[in-house]
Amino acid sequence: MTVSIHPTAIVAPSARLGEGVSVGPYAMIGGEVVLGAATTVGAYASVQGPAELGPENRIFPHAVLGFDPQDIKYRGERTRLVIGARNTFREFATIHRGTSATGETIIGDDNFFLAYTHVAHDCRIGSRCIFSNNASLGGHIEVGDGVVLSAFVGGHQFTRIGSYAFVGAFTPIRQDVLPFCKTDGHVAKTYGLNKIGLERQGFSKERVATLNRAYRILIRSKLNTKQALERLEAEMPNEPDVAYLIQFVRTSERGFHR
């Protein structure tokens, strides 16, 4: 396989393009950019380094990856963007590099960023996530695996979104979002387990039932959070999903949407 670069595209000499990379008309690939094998860059899209992308990523027209963060504290320090494999960035998606706080914005594998989505500096995104149109994250947000953000979701800086969470359209995220759960509303609240999403991710009926019981103890019992976590540890000591839920709640610094 050979590299295909349209005559109108601009590719910096220090960029490294893997086998089968395709760069479309008027696209711009800056210095210190690494594009993994079979990655495609659409017309007018721009990738600026330092940035490293794994294989088989798809960058659609007018998407912008790897530029300076939108942070007034940024002073031009050397930071980078790291992206895994098989991600899709649709039209006008924007993904920025990190700041000196962490040095990196990191994205995993098999994510789907729809048109006009935005991931700000120093975010950590897991794998197999879907960001619907105009979903936007502020800086320093952590997103687990298998998360679905609906259209126009807005994430406040330093919040966390747990794995396999579903967030409804137009929901403002001001606190952490519980893993495995549905969170929705102009005043964000949890509305039970994300059962359909969990089933689509291959969770067995037994795993879903265990998580549903854990959710009821944590949210719907009359116990306070400390008491609920202690009960979960006592009653479900060998359940990895429940252990992750407990750890997520215990390490929350901003509290979580209830």
The C-alpha atoms of residue 24 and residue 45 are separated, in whole angstroms, by 8
pTM over 0.85: yes
Q: Where in the chain are the domains? A: 4-140, 198-250
225-255 per-position pLDDT tens digit:
999 999 999 999 999 999 999 999 999 999 9
* CA dihedral for 118, 174, 148, 143, sign (positive or negative): positive
Q: Is 186 a catalytic residue?
A: no
Q: What is the pLDDT of residues 115-146, one digit of tens each?
A: 999 999 999 999 999 999 999 999 999 999 99
pLDDT value, residue 191: 94
Spatial distance between the Cα atoms of 140 and 102, rounded to a whole number of angstroms: 9
**pLDDT confidence band for 83 (50 / 70 / 90):** very high
Q: Which CATH architecture has domain 198-250?
A: Up-down Bundle (1.20)
Q: Which of 121, 140, 144, 162 is catalytic?
A: 121
Q: Which is catalytic among the residues 122, 145, 176, 241?
A: 122
Domain 4-140 has CATH 2.160.10.10: yes
**For this structure, is 121 an active site residue?**
yes
- Asked if residue 1 has pLDDT above 80, the reply is no
Q: Is 92 helix (H, G, I), strand (E, B) or coil?
A: coil
